[in-house]
Chain A
Amino acid sequence: MSQQLIIVAAVAYLVLLFAVAYLAEHSTGRFSRLTGSSLVYTLSLAVYCSSWTFNGGVGRASQSGLDFLPIYLGPTLAFLLGPILIRKILRVSLANRITSIADLIGARFNSGGLAALVTVIAVIGLVPYIALQLKSISTGFAALTHSSEAAHPIVQPLLSDGALWAAIVLTVFAMLFGSRSIHPSEHHPGMMVAIALESFLKFVCLSAIGLFVGYGLFDGFGDLFAQAMERPDIAAIFEYRPDRYGYNWIAMTFLAMLAIFCLPRQFQVMVVENVDERHLNRALWLFPLYLLAINLFVLPIAIGGRVLLAADTDPDNLVLTLALATGQPGLALIAFLGGLSASASMVVVETTALSVMVCNDVVMPALLRVKALGLARKADLTRLLLWVRRIVMIAVMALGYFYMRHDSAQFALVSIGLMSFVAVAQFAPAIVGGLFWRGASKAGAFTGISAGVLVWAYTLLLPSFARSGALGIGFIADGPLGLELLKPYALFGLAGLDPVTHSTFWSLLANVGAFLAVSLAGRQSPLEQARAALFVDTENLDEVAQIWRRTARVPDLMSLVSRFLGKEKAAAAFANWAHMRGVDPTTAVEADAETVLFYERLLAGVIGAASARVLVSAIVEEEQLGVDEMMRILDETSRIIEANRQLEDKSRALEAATAELREANAQLQVLDRLKDDFVATVNHELRTPLASIRAFSEILRDHPDLPDEEKHEFLRIVVTESERLTRLIHQLLDLSKIEASGAIPAQRAVVNLAAVIRESTAAMHQVFAAREVELALRIEADPALVMGDHDRLVQVVINLLGNAAKFSPAGAGLATLRLNRAGREFEISVSDNGPGIPAGDREIVFERFRQLGDTMSGKPQGAGLGLAISQRIVTQHGGRIWIEGTAGGGATFRIRLARMQAAPATAKNAPAGVS
């Protein structure tokens, strides 16, 4: 196939991608809606599958079967923990405007130095990975142009080196995508759509080749496997062996689990470019599904290639060679473009992420610290930022290219990729520890990462140089200076593992060990503790403002942010913020802690947390945080728990109070009803006598010539009615007086109940005589001494006697008044042989104005207050009054009053004395 055709196709393909990105960013309508969808998010995550999947995975599968798979099983498992780990990273990053993984670690431990360290490690660790992509493109290109003889790029002259051109084109491409303009919060929607499209295309390409191999070259996959199993070397890969996979498989799975959130490009697409946390919910299963689908044909292709191709074919080029060897140049071009897709997306995102990291966490903080440059006073820094990033991209790419020329030809793709995985896995302890453990300290993270990386460099990076001849192969075989124990592939004699597993074990052991030991041994400063609490308790993120009570002037902040973000964007962002807080953006001058924080985060979105902090701190007034405030933040969790408990208590108390209120309300309603009855009755009771008094008085006035006896009769009625009225008013006053005085009787003296009864019967004698009711008196205890008010008790007895007289049948009535001892009490009972009181009414007759029967009809026989008054008087004396039926059908009122303790010998007349 001609070189020109391939180059044209490749460039056309890249231009198409760029057009898609441009459209996605600039169009409106359906196409732009794509940019914020969970499908694009998921597909952009698939930048994970670089050319390593496309070519390296197949190469590995053709050699050793399925052990390429842990690289994809790991992310699947990691995503199952997504709701715990990834969501937390997302939230923390959103709240702090985190722009890279270095930013995250730097922000958590509040250390620019740590961020710089992470950045440097990421660059060193990922250069081989980028080199791998270049190598993949260049060998693919070579394979296509020189038929099946894959030439090593090293032996080619520089200018005809496909890798160099690939590096240049991809650098330009990355600069166009990743550093075209400065965005707050580093969103690149266009790039995301292009990456998503690439992910889709590489899946389609690989699947097309898979189907072609299965159905074009073989008679279906069953036939493919059947033919493969006939070859003993292939059948040996799949036969049952109890020790086939061991630590290497587990280590790869584990590494891939960590890489899925530690690789800068994965962090970029998963966290930084995330626009909606809910997209993660969909990606949790859709992304693993993509991984499964794209890997489905890897093994069939690899096995098919091995069956059909010569044994000495470069396994990493198997896909291309297979298409070419079977006379399918079109398919070979598709395969090449698929691999190019995979490489290009990886390189673009990785260099973008790395350039942001280097720019924000290394270059800018350094430049800003150099006072001589006067950068902090420069008017517009957006261009500087962009150029720093572009230069970093070029530098990273150049490093990758030189690494490839120098070294990578010695290694298979997968081994190089795994070397990078181990390097970035060193960030995992600091991230996971930092987000879930308050005790994680800056010193611990620093020591841990450093130790891990040193071990990584010793056990993987240096040997890779040694193997290419720079250090001498003796370094690997015999150890440095012949020290056997320090052999880089068998440190301390740990043999039997492959280099990656070996390095993973030792580096992460050193990393986690140092991280834990230093964190546990050291002491955190109060500020560090506060920061740890903020990151670990995600809910409190907004309280970060209160840690540093910083104030500043809005114009100062505004001019600072404008320099990095551009005037319009800065003004729009502040107007939005002011609107949200209900402040007028044109008049706001003093910026409180929260506004300062807003500006810092806005700035952090452009130049990273470390630089932003340096810049903002130059213009703010920072107050020292009080100890008690620190304690408050530290005790946030316990405080919340306490508050929760109190809330529960309160809601319980509230429930109780509500119940009481409901009860009181019910009582009030009853009382209200009673009051209405009372008013109605009083109205009626007072009006009846008044009406007759008025009527008779008018007759007397208008008819002076009435006969004398009539006049006399009318006057008698007037007098009687007036008396009734007086009595009624007297009783009402009496009742209210008793109710007002509460539980204490007006007087407390020794009272002889026998005397009370004698006095009452004497007073009522006339009444009984008039109604011809016989009254039987049986005093069985004399003296019967109680404490109380003589007159009131007389009133009670008279009232009861009056009732008895009233309700006993005239002429044949028989009332009985009895006084006797009942245990520790005296009992007064008044019985009659009247109509009696139904059992259901025996309680309510004691209520005010309760008269049995219809009070509105017939002649009212009383105001209905007598029994109410009596009951209150008895209650005031600590006694009880109740009604029983009698055998003869009448009613018996019983009163019980407590006997006086240690009764005095004589007290016949009451009141006899005060005790």
Chain B
Amino acid sequence: MTRQIPSSPVSDTYVPALASPPRITRSALVNAIGLLLFVLVPAIASATGESFLVNLMTRFLIYAIAAVSLDLILGYGAMVSFGHAAFFGLGGYVIGIVGFHVGQGDTLFGWSGSNAALVMWPLAVAVAALAGLAVGFLSLRTSGVQFIMITLAFGQMLYFILVGLMVYGGDDGLAIDARNTLPGLNLNDPATFYYVCLALMTLWIVVCRRIVNSPFGMALQSIKQNPRRSVGLGLAPLGYRLTAFVLSAAGTGLAGALWANYALFVSPDMSAWQKSGELMAMVILGGMGTIFGPVLGVAVYLGLEQVATGWTEHWMLILGPVLVLVVLFGKRGVYGWLAGGKQ
């Protein structure tokens, strides 16, 4: 296979992607350092005696899964979903509701393993994906501001449905008796649960990176950049957008399921519009359309929250200007600033 073009005078300088040796780029370095820090968190926590650190970082990982999922449609498809917390809430409530019945001695479809993570987490993901299919199918008929409003409406719809579920605590939410179980692992141990979340986040990031660089991902990005041209080339945008929306909903549902396990509590607030806004702020802070960026965005967001709530309960007063500055001056967010320009 040759990629050389004989008639081109500059073809000699063209380095074929296939033959290029793996290089250590600045962004690869940032990612590697990030991953190393994550792995060391429980050790650092026990060494310094700051046990809250593991909990804080678990929260961080869970939000990162949701933010990366949102980036898939926000950054790569320009679909501004203002109702994405709905899928977070759904994932959580699947765990909460089944856990509630298991606590009462019932089982899911009469099966004794109804508390198994290997069943419950995929179930939560599937429910979120299915909801994503329905919401996406209806919302993606619109674009721009209308899309924002219609996804917001769907998110609020779920919020009020959850508020109305009096059996499951309604407004007050629902406490969960125990975490789901994984064979061979004790998820009740904070460090173990942390590592499971870290593994899932890493896996999801790898999957999302593959997706955005795949033919599907290129088509999705092309539709974002110039839908008119993509249609002119013969692509039907709806199929690509909807697929991305469903994948994004699925990932957000997984994050919701993990959150329910982490907090042992679910409430309608998980799917409130403020949560959707939080997720969007995280993605924008970190850098849209980078996959890694939103992870950093979550770090900045939660870090800021942690520090600034010590000063004032109106910590959003600090977040607001930071967000404005990032949007105005750093189009690629914190990650773009750290890892350099576009790869």
- Do A and B share a complex? no
